[in-house]
A and B are shown apart, each in its own frame.
Chain A
Amino acid sequence: MTRNLLLGALLSMLVLLMALVSFVWTPYDHVAMNIPAKLQPPDAEHWLGTDHFGRDMFSMIMVGARTSIAVALVAVGIGMLLGVPLGLAAAARKGSWLDEVIMRGNDLVFAFPSLVIAILITAVLGAGAVNAIIAIGIFNIPVFARITRGAALSLWERDFILAARVAGKSGARISFEHILPNVMNLLIVQGTIQFSLGILAEAGLSYVGLGAQPPTPSWGRMLADAQTMVSIAPHLALVPGVAIVLTVLGLNLMGDGLRDYLDPRLRVSRA
């Protein structure tokens, strides 16, 4: 196991653990206001200080991790659930009208950055965490479709697929029984990367008010609240920012490490 993978997994696990523990325990109630104790820098009582309403920052970060993880995870799920079958279908029918339609559809969705999708959805439905999920999820679909198609195309040329075809298996069966298990590693690595991009996107959308709405705690929202007070209480901006950076860094390191670990060719060349 590489050092990157270990460090990345450790950081990611830490964030996940924080989010899970927040369901049963946080140092303080994350919505409880305590005006006399507002804007306190980190100390023994409040490990990460308090915000402008005197709320405990550490508790807010813990609960905010839930929002980030939930949004990014569901968005990756949407992307995989729709993107992977589309990519498999396109590869199975390479060169057909179906392939063409799927790939052109992909190009079209790619032209809508997730921020633009979020703007459209918010104009129609209003702001909220669900919109952020939909926006990031839609953006993920072509990513997974493209990567699945690319990997599947080269697999279709292989002998064991030819054997399966000779045995009379249908394109759909071959796709799910033989192609999918073989592209799984690639999808796991891409999933990790999209997950980290999802955390960043969620923070950005919440920051501009298109994502999670108060009182749902979110790291991006905390940064938006901190903006006007950054000169008097820098920790308001530092704490959520560092939380985002560490989470994304952890996931990226894990993604890179997983790619090296899961790709046998890279392992052989290292040995």
Chain B
Amino acid sequence: MLRYSLKRLISLVLSLVVASLVIFLVIEVAPGDPASFMLGINAQPDTVAALRSELGLDVPKWQRYLDWAGGMLIGDFGTSYTYRTPVSEMIADRLWVSLPLALFALTISTLVAFPAGIYAASRRGRAGDAAVMGATQLGVAIPNFWFAMMMVLVFAINLRWFSAGGFAGWDKGILAGLHSLTLPAISLALPQAAILARVMRSSLLDILGEDFMRTARAKGLSRGQALWRHGVRNALIPVLTIIGLQFSFLLAGAIIIEQVFYLPGLGRLVFQAISSRDLIVVESVVMLLVFSVITVNFVVDLAYALVDPRLRRRS
């Protein structure tokens, strides 16, 4: 296990280095100099040069990469070109909206998908199964941002149960914060719940055909008992992998949902940064998202190997 973990850790570090290089290089070839963009077309060359030196744009590219990547290791993402504040602070502020939103959505998706998947598998081929599968078919076909708009129409505009947008802030209390994240989280969770329910169902169906399930029934457990004690537990392994993968997609997906609800999260930050050519902010947010995907995958791989020894040996 130690050897496997070490091997995966080296590959994690390598992936992060290559990903950061790719992001840096892509942004570096961006046409247009941020300093001239900020000062406008009438700026004097010496003013532009002064700003370039202030922003650290005049040093060689490789050194800028090392400064940026090295800084990130100690939590220093550099200074925003437009706001002149540390990027890490801007990201941390926004993360307080995006991260809880993604976690909230993940919770909803799991709470809906587990019972739905288990129910469908236990009623295989019957009306209940068909109903759940039909609903998941629809769930994956609905764009989450459109679903969000429809929910605003029904629950915010017509019923007035929630506000149509904006974020109350955590200083008003956890409940107020969660209340303003409820509609966004439900819309973000919809397609993920549909996918998860399908995985849960098919994983459970595979397990139900196993010999140990028959043994469980033969030793006198009822259908329900066998399902809960032996079926669901074993079916969880692939399901947990999918949950891990979904988290990173939820974080990225939150960017779009934040636009529907005017939430001050990472999405808003990155779109503002794109329009003001605040490239260091774009670079850092993208790196953060990619970092979360790679790290979550790493953790899922390790967890998987921990439960399933066959995987360790194969590698």
Contact = CB atoms under 8 A, between A and B. Distances in A.
A252 B140 contact: yes
A107 interface: yes
B274 A123 contact: yes
B270 interface: yes
B193 interface: no
Contact of A113 (B18, B30, B252, B297): B252
B293 A120 contact: no
Q: Is the interface of B mostly helix, strand, loop or mixed?
A: helix
A271 interface: no
A193 B10 CA distance: 34
Contacts of B150: 237-238, 241
B290 A116 contact: yes
Contacts of B252: 113, 115-116
Contacts of B248: 113
A113 B141 CA distance: 18
Contact of B256 (A207, A227, A244): A207
Interface in B138-179: 138, 140-143, 145-146, 149-150, 152-153, 157
Interface in B175-212: none
Contacts of B143: 200, 203-204, 207, 223, 241, 244-245, 248
A231 B14 CA distance: 50
A120 B15 contact: no
B270 A119 contact: yes
Interface in B50-73: none
A186 interface: no
A112 interface: yes
A123 B149 contact: no
A111 B274 contact: no
Contact of A108 (B15, B157, B279): B15
Given A113-B252, A124-B29, A119 B274 contact: yes
Which of A196, A231, A240 has the most B CB atoms < 10 Å from its CB?
A231
Contacts of B271: 208-209
B119 interface: no
B294 to A, nearest CB: 5
A234 B146 CA distance: 12
Interface stretch (B19-27, B39-47, B121-129, B233-241): B19-27
A146 to B, nearest CB: 14
Contacts of A207: 143, 145, 256, 259
B213 interface: no
B158 to A, nearest CB: 9
A252 B146 contact: no
A172 to B, nearest CB: 28
Given A248-B141, A253-B137, A108 B18 contact: yes
Which of A104, A204, A240, A245 has the most B CB atoms < 10 Å from its CB?
A204
B153 A234 contact: yes
Contacts of B152: 230
A116 B256 contact: no
Interface of A: 104, 107-108, 110-113, 115-116, 119-124, 196, 200, 203-204, 207-209, 223, 226-227, 230-231, 234, 237-238, 240-241, 244-245, 248-249, 252-253
